[in-house]
Amino acid sequence: MTLHRIPLVRAGVPASSAETARLDAVDGTPLALVDQAPPLLATLTVADLRRRGPSGTAPDAEVFRRAGELFATAELDGIGPERYCELQARSAGIPISTARRSLADIREVCTHMGERVEAERPPGAGSDVEAGRIEAVWARRGDVLAVIAPGNNPGVHVQWIQGLALGYQLVIRPGSKDPFTPARLVAALLAAGVEPAHLSLLPGGHATADALVRAADLSLVFGSDDAVRAYAGDRTVIPRGPGLSKLLQLGELTEQALDTICTSVGYDAGMRCTNASAVFTDGDPMAVGAAIAARLARLVPGPPLSPEAQLPVMPIGRATAMRAHLDARRAGAVDVAAPLYPDGPVTDLGDGSAAMRPAVLVCDRPDHPGAAIELPFPCVWVLPWDPTEGFAPLRNTLALTILGGDRKLAVEALREPTIRKVLLGPLPTFSAGTTSPHDGFLGHELMEARGYGVAAE
């Protein structure tokens, strides 16, 4: 059988490498050969981009709209949208329904890219000034942006597209589990008219990622807490670590509130950074946890290509190890979901892979370490909350949904700087507007306002 091959892309031009890595599905079936970029090639690619320099103008909104349409509907590099969804689901272990949903999600973001760029520009900063005036201009902090991409959910890749809209030359190191999404996005953007010198794709290991971070002007780095800590204090690195999104449930646990909680935890198989990993409640944590567990237990385990599948799948050895890792970190918390699975919390699918059933861990104190644990499957910690403690127990949160509270409480949450988004009412933690910030405005980290004056003629 001939495997699909994912080549390197250097300044828009596909290239092969002497080194390749075989990419297997979660059940061990070979899926593709991925050309690998060694660290030296990564460094040389960035140096070559510097010699070329960026073009004078960034792609316009129509280019991104066209790219989104191509990503969702076209055959690119010999792969149509349905085949892409199959490959992506089997390699990353996500349900194919999630992969299919990403087609529409990425098209939607591309359609509104022009609006996002304008929304993030400070009103007082333009792109040029008239002679005889001294004003603010909106300028890039560099020319080359490295992207150390993840492989958990295809939708996360919409974040780096904005770098193109701001005129950066992008060098993307895809995650090992999902090179398909960034490769398809690169192909769609090039076909839509993005200048070749603005797009490079360099699969490789950690050494390649480190080389890109050292060589580029700025780097958008997705990864674990360890990856974020490794670049702490480096102003050229824009970290995107675990989300640790949460809900605050106050008063009666209504059906609507329970729906919002469980959707926040289990949507897209629990593999988004904005899936909830903790619920704080002023009620009885055990009762709230039991209700959540009963609802999440309905999520269907199955192979990634099953239309009914709703949970992540991984090689059975990794699934068993992840569950053991969770059990070792429970620190007295009670998993009220585990008894609901007669065959255990890891469902053997009989092909070398396993589905991860949801975990609901009830804690007896608000400072339980579980509130800072996020895993790539529906895993939620339920903790007590006392209003006198304020929002200190809910710090370091990407998205917080408040159920049963009022606007005064929501404004108080917004004053906590480590809570990056607040949603009041039955809005799942992954809810977003067309131009709302994800983790602050990315444009404000890639760009800055500078003074610029031109003498009168």
Give the helix, strand, coil percentages of the chain, each rounded to 5.
40, 25, 40
**Degrees to nearest 5, angle at CA 222 with 139 and 211:** 75
Model confidence at 1, pLDDT cuts 50, 70, 90, reads low
pLDDT for 378-423, tens place per residue?
999 999 999 999 999 999 999 999 999 999 999 999 999 999 999 9
**At 69, which helix (H) or strand (E)?**
helix 61-73
Q: Does residue 320 contact residue 348 with C-beta atoms inside 8 Å?
A: no
- Where on the phi/psi map is residue 120: left (φ > 0), alpha (ψ -120 to 50), or beta? alpha
Q: Does residue 41 contact residue 211 with C-beta atoms inside 8 Å?
A: no
Most confident of 50-59, 69-78, 150-159: 69-78
Percent of the chain with pLDDT over 70: 100
Question: Please, what is the average pLDDT of the chain?
Answer: 95
Cα 49 from Cα 58, distance rounded (Å): 16
For 331, list phi and psi in degrees, rounded to 5: 50, 45
Q: Model pTM greater than 0.85?
A: yes
- pLDDT for residue 188 is more than 80: yes
Of 397, 445, 405, 451, nearest to 425 by C-alpha is 405
3-class secondary structure for 301-324? CCCCCCCCCCCCEEEHHHHHHHHH
Model confidence at 181, pLDDT cuts 50, 70, 90, reads very high
**At 208, which helix (H) or strand (E)?**
helix 206-215
Q: Does residue 275 contact residue 247 with C-beta atoms inside 8 Å?
A: no
Q: Does residue 306 contact residue 95 with C-beta atoms inside 8 Å?
A: yes
For residue 14, with 0-12 CB atoms within 10 Å meaning exposed, 13-18 middle and 19 or more buried, which class applies? Answer: middle
pLDDT for 265-318, tens place per residue?
999 999 998 999 999 999 999 999 999 999 999 999 999 999 999 999 999 999
Give the three-class secondary structure for 452: strand
Model confidence at 55, pLDDT cuts 50, 70, 90, reads confident
Residues 343-370, mean pLDDT to the nearest whole number: 97
Q: Does residue 33 contact residue 5 with C-beta atoms inside 8 Å?
A: yes
Residues 19-24, mean pLDDT to the nearest whole number: 96
pLDDT for 198-219, tens place per residue?
999 999 999 999 999 999 999 9
Distances (CA, A) of 288 to 255, 258, 265, 391, 409: 12, 9, 14, 20, 21
